[in-house]
Amino acid sequence: MKQYNFEDSNLPKVNPNENLETISNNFFRPLFGTDKFEIRSETQRDKGIDFHIELKKEVAPGKWVFTNYRLAVQLKASESVKTNKDGSFTLQIDSSNVNYLLNNAMPAFYVFFHKSTKSFYYEDVRIFLAALHQKEPEWSKKEKHALRFSKKLDELALHAIYEQTLANGILLRQVNQYLKTPSEENISQGILIDHNNAVYNAADNIEYLDQYGAYLINKHQFNYIIEIEQKTHPRQDATPRFNLFCGIAYYQRGNLYKAIDLLKIAELHSESFDSNMQAALAFTLLNGKHLLGIISKQDFDKEMQKLSESGKTGTYFQIEKAYSILCNARSDISNAFKIFCGTVENILENETNNELRIIAYSKVVSAESTVLLNDLTSNFCYFIGRVTNPLQTKTYLEWLEMENRFLNQIDELVDAANKYEYQIGIANLIIFRIKWNYEKAIHTHYLSNWNVRFFDISAVLDEKTQKQLLFDCIQLEKIAESYDAIEFRENMLSCYLLEFQIFHFLRRDEKAQEIKIKILNFTKEYEFAGLQKQYEEIFNGNTAHQQFINKYTVQINQMQDFATKNGIDIYSLLDSDKFNHNPSWSFTHFFEFTFA
């Protein structure tokens, strides 16, 4: 029997490339575990995609579902490709194939099979495209491009591909719900996709800020509000509350022009706001204009006075109005202080917001500090310059007892701010305590160094007070840095301004100049023209201690001149042992704090 000769027969020839394709396919499939992936070959009229791979998702322990989130793979294999010096492999890719893969919304990858090591390498089509754009902006006009494979398709890479495809699928799912249908041609629902692939719808954003904006403002989430505002377009239907909260957020972050634009829009419908929101709108708009130098400090004060007298203000402005009346009282300070405290109690009677209570009580403490310092200087008028040890007198010792009770109140408020997690309140109270240390140092130092007609400004401040104030400056620097980190620019500048005045008082001129330059740079950078003008007055001889010297010198000289004309010897020293001036205090009972 004649043996069959295969060589002479007319049979289909084996193509080595097809063998390699089969081998690569056989090794490729097991890479994708069947628990998380479903591999489907592209068998009919393949135009550049070998596999579509669908993700599976575990929704409960042991329970998996198909997601219809997919990725595309173009598998390459070649025995003729040589290894590059860095261990990578280079293949030529058709521009038409890159475009084909890009036309699919799903993630797409080129995968290369290295037969001798049975290893797979991969590249994301989008990363390849980005490199092409950078090297050749008109890359599509060229027929082929070199793609270098260097990343191994291992377990870590498969996990990253899974997560990327899952995120892409979720993104497309979110986008799809906002896409117009043929019946919605006249409906505008602008969407925005951020760098984290989160999808935002303008209407949802407006509704969210309208409902929760006040809460976010109270929690000082200004950056979050701004982030939402920037992702809300178009917004023809933005509510007044949306514009108000966004305007306040931009104001707190120092973007005053943007803040004023939004606040003016909110102002057009301010009748829909309650009294507290109207007050917040009016104050923020006025202060923004003042900071930018659009209105002067005098005009700002006038407008604030009108606002306080309008009767259409919230809790904050009612307290400010009461405080202003107290500060303007020229006689019977004791009665004015009682009226102020009674007004605060009435205003807060039904107030349930403990942060607002802390703000109001801080104003009470500020009023107490003003009265205490005023009482100290008033009582010292009787013996200034005539007693050898003024800080050992009955007047000063009684005053120290009152100061101790006063400082306990500040500590009480700090504890409350801690309890209610009111961090800004804590910082403000620490600053207030530092301000008190500075103002007390001014009064005690100069009142102890009166020489006939003038304060002895050459007298050296005691070492203990110097150390305290230097420590306070370190604290101010830290608080200012914290304010800068959260972009509370105006608060930060207030810290630096107080620090400047303390260094100036301590005669640390070089350090004071350093702080001054820092302040001026900030006011210039953020275009706080109004603040810059106001601060310039302080820099040019109007610090708190310079104001005290000038004002009190005139006052004491007028009193002494009047006494001399009436035959009283006001220059003779008094016997400290026999001197027994009974001081007069505007109040002896301090305000009692209560919280909801």
Does 215 share its domain with 132?
A: no
Has residue 398 been placed in a domain?
A: yes
Judged against a pLDDT cut of 90, whether residue 46 lies above it is answered with no
Report yes or no on 442 lying in a domain.
yes
Mean pLDDT of 334-339: 85
Q: Which residue has the higher pLDDT, 498 or 534?
A: 498
Say how far residue 577 (Cα) sits from the centre of its chain.
Answer: 58
**108-114 and 63-77 beta bridge pairing:** parallel
Same domain, 386 and 511: yes
Query: For residue 571, is it within any domain?
Result: no
Query: Strand 51-60 and strand 63-77: pairing?
Result: antiparallel
What are the tokens at 103?
């036309």
Domain that holds residue 277: 191-297
With respect to residue 585, please indicate whether it lies within any of the assigned structural domains. no
> Both 136 and 212 in a single domain?
no
Measured distance CA(363)–CA(372) in Å, rounded: 14
Which among 297, 313, 331 is the end of a domain? 297
Residue 188: what pLDDT? 47
Give DSSP secondary structure letters for 426-446.
HHHHHHHHHHHHHHHHHHHHH
Q: Rounded distance, CA 27 to CA 119, Å?
A: 9
pLDDT for position 464: 96
Q: Are residues 539 and 462 in the same domain?
A: yes
Quick one: average pLDDT of 284-297? Answer: 83
Predicted pLDDT at 356: 82
> Is the pLDDT reported for residue 325 higher than 80?
no
What does the pLDDT read at residue 512?
A: 96
Together in a domain, 293 and 415: no
Mean pLDDT, residues 562-577? 76
pLDDT digits (tens, 9 = 90+) for 233-261: 777 788 988 999 899 888 887 788 888 89
Query: Which range is least confidently modeled, 140-144, 294-298, 443-447?
Result: 294-298
The tally of domains found in the chain comes to: 3
Q: Where is the domain boundary, 174, 201, 218?
A: 174
The verdict on 220 and 110 lying in the same domain is: no
Residues 138 and 246 in one domain: no
pTM summary value: 0.61
Residue 192 tokens read as: 């925005």
pLDDT range class, residue 161, cuts 50, 70, 90? very high
pLDDT of residue 44: 64
Q: pLDDT band for 187, please (50, 70, 90 cuts).
A: very low
Expressed in angstroms, the distance from the first to the final Cα of the chain is 111
279 or 501, which is more confident: 501
Which CATH number is 48's domain given?
3.40.1350.10
Min mean pLDDT across 15-19, 420-424, 585-589 is at: 15-19
* Helices and strands, counts by H and E, the chain: 20, 12
* Per-residue model confidence (pLDDT) at position 430: 95
Same domain, 122 and 195: no
Q: Indicate if 61 and 154 belong to the same structural domain.
A: yes
Query: Distance of CA 594 to CAs 59, 418, 591, Å?
Result: 50, 15, 10
Determine, yes or no, domain membership for 323: no
- State the sign of the Cα–Cα–Cα–Cα dihedral 309, 311, 315, 316: negative
Give how far the C-alpha of residue 64 lies from the chain's centroid of Cα atoms, to the nearest Å.
Answer: 42
The arithmetic mean of pLDDT across residues 111-123, rounded, is: 90
Cβ neighbours around 162 below 10 Å, total: 20
How does pLDDT run across 511-533, given as a tens digit for each residue?
999 999 999 998 888 888 877 88
Give the pLDDT confidence score for residue 186 in this predicted structure: 46
If asked whether residues 525 and 386 sit together in one domain, one would say yes
Residues 166 and 201 in one domain: no
Q: 209 and 228 in contact (C-beta within 8 Å)?
A: yes
Asked, for residue 221, whether it belongs to a domain, the answer is yes
125 and 232 fall within a common domain: no
For residues 439 and 223, which has the higher predicted lDDT (pLDDT)? Answer: 439
Average pLDDT on 71-85 reads 87
The pLDDT of residue 472 is 97
Indicate the pLDDT class of residue 43, thresholds 50, 70 and 90.
Answer: low
| Residue 426 exposure: Cα atoms within 13 Å on the Cβ side | 12
Let me know if residue 560 belongs to a domain.
Answer: yes
The domain boundary, picked from 297, 318, 336, lies at 297
Determine, yes or no, domain membership for 533.
yes
CATH of the domain at 490: 1.25.40
